[in-house]
Structure 1
């Protein structure tokens, strides 16, 4: 299983009146992690969009354990939890400088044609991506 890591410096503009990172900003950090994972696998998501394919979010879950504050550094860990050739589930852990998991999350995506929103088979349209996702995804535990 490939786990991508990306450091993010918490900016003042990302905090709320309580002085902690506003909850929706973690979704942006998850996107940064997801894009970084794709890059780590040797691909460029922007090239897929140029080909008329987009990857909308079907579902997102976030659990907040500890807050981040301005000036801290967050490390976003991202991996592929589930991949079936059409849908992809990414998992995220966002850690503080002490290595504590402060936020966990998951986002589910599907690749679709931009003009019709009809799902595509990644396996058929992008066999190199399919192979990379198969290799990178979390493997089931053998009993």
Structure 2
């Protein structure tokens, strides 16, 4: 299983009056991590979109464990939790600068044709992407 690591500085605009990161910003950080994972595997969303394919979110699950605060850097760990050839599930862990776990979560996505919004078969449309996901997804122990 491949894990992408991304570091992000907590910006003042991402916090509340107490300097604690507002919960919705973790979703943005997960997207940053997911994009980094895809790039680390040699692909990118822009290329997929140019080929007429979108990957909307179909489900989110986030559990908050500890706050991240203004002035810290956070580390985002992202991996392919599951992959079926049509649906993707990404896993996330976000740690604060002290290494304390702030968030665990998953997001589920499906690849669809941009015009019809009907699901597409990734193996047929993007064989290299399919192979990379098969080779790097989480394996059950």
| Same fold, judged at TM 0.5 (above) | yes
- Deviating above 3 A after TM superposition, structure 1's stretches of 4 or more consecutive aligned residues are none
CA RMSD of aligned residues (A): 0.7
For residues 119 and 95 of structure 2, what CA distance do their matches in structure 1 show? 34
The within-5 A match list for 1:42-61 is 42-61=42-61
For residues 92 and 64 of structure 2, what CA distance do their matches in structure 1 show? 12
The within-5 A match list for 1:9-48 is 9-48=9-48
TM-score by length of 1: 0.96
- Helix, strand or coil at the partner of 2:31: helix
For residues 100 and 122 of structure 1, what CA distance do their matches in structure 2 show? 36
Match of 1:116 in 2: 116
For residues 18 and 63 of structure 1, what CA distance do their matches in structure 2 show? 20
Q: Tell me how far 1:17 sits from its aligned partner.
A: 2.6
- Helix, strand or coil at the partner of 1:28: helix
- Helix, strand or coil at the partner of 2:26: helix
The within-5 A match list for 1:55-134 is 55-134=55-134
Q: Tell me how far 1:16 sits from its aligned partner.
A: 1.4
For residues 69 and 99 of structure 1, what CA distance do their matches in structure 2 show? 13
For structure 1, the residue ranges without an aligned partner over 5 or more in a row are none
For residues 87 and 17 of structure 2, what CA distance do their matches in structure 1 show? 37
For structure 2, the residue ranges without an aligned partner over 5 or more in a row are none
For residues 42 and 131 of structure 2, what CA distance do their matches in structure 1 show? 12
Q: Tell me how far 1:43 sits from its aligned partner.
A: 0.7
Q: Tell me how far 1:22 sits from its aligned partner.
A: 0.7
